[in-house]
Amino acid sequence: MNVEVLGRTVQQTEIWLNEISERLGTGSEEEAYQALRAVLISLRDRIGTDNAAHLSAQLPVLIRGIFYDGFHPAETPSRERTREAFMAKVHGAVTNLEVDPEQAAKAVFEVLARHIEPRESEKLAGMFPAEMRDLWPRQAA
């Protein structure tokens, strides 16, 4: 990896954070980062190691680091079955998530779906129970 790749991943990460911040209506990169981290960790733990590896290959390098931060493969998949359980996981994934977990999930999934291959997004949305698929943008759900 060269320095140019690092600069590009920083720019891509800033784009993602700006898009999340815009969707959250906060204007805060810190809140966008906390939402991104909480939702990615919750998603990663729910989809299992093989699916996490497929998804991570499409993430910018810096966001991939966030995705895998604190990862314990033996504890996955977590398979929350209800919306409430998944939202509790999102809320508990970081200590200072100040936005509504459902709003955070919708914002992050929308940005994620914009930046990864449509088939991957559809596959991920399909891993959620029907009652939770509306967290994903319409084309992915």
Q: Any idea what the Cα angle at residue 62 is, between residues 99 and 29, rounded to 5°?
A: 30
Using CA atoms, how far residue 58 sits from 28, 38, 124, 129, in Å, is 25, 18, 13, 24
Using CA atoms, how far residue 136 sits from 30, 69, 101, 124, in Å, is 22, 23, 14, 9
Q: What is the pLDDT along the chain (141 residues), one digit of tens a residue?
A: 678 888 899 999 999 999 999 999 988 899 999 999 999 999 999 999 999 999 999 999 999 999 999 898 887 788 788 999 999 999 988 877 788 999 999 999 999 999 999 999 999 999 999 989 999 998 665
pLDDT of residue 74: 84
pLDDT of residue 141: 57
Dig out the tokens for 35 from the structure: 């939402």
CA–CA gap between residue 99 and residue 25 (Å, rounded) = 10
Give the residue among 113, 139, 98 at the shortest CA–CA distance from 55: 113
Q: How many CB atoms lie within 10 A of CB 51?
A: 18
Instruction: Look up the pTM and report it.
Output: 0.92
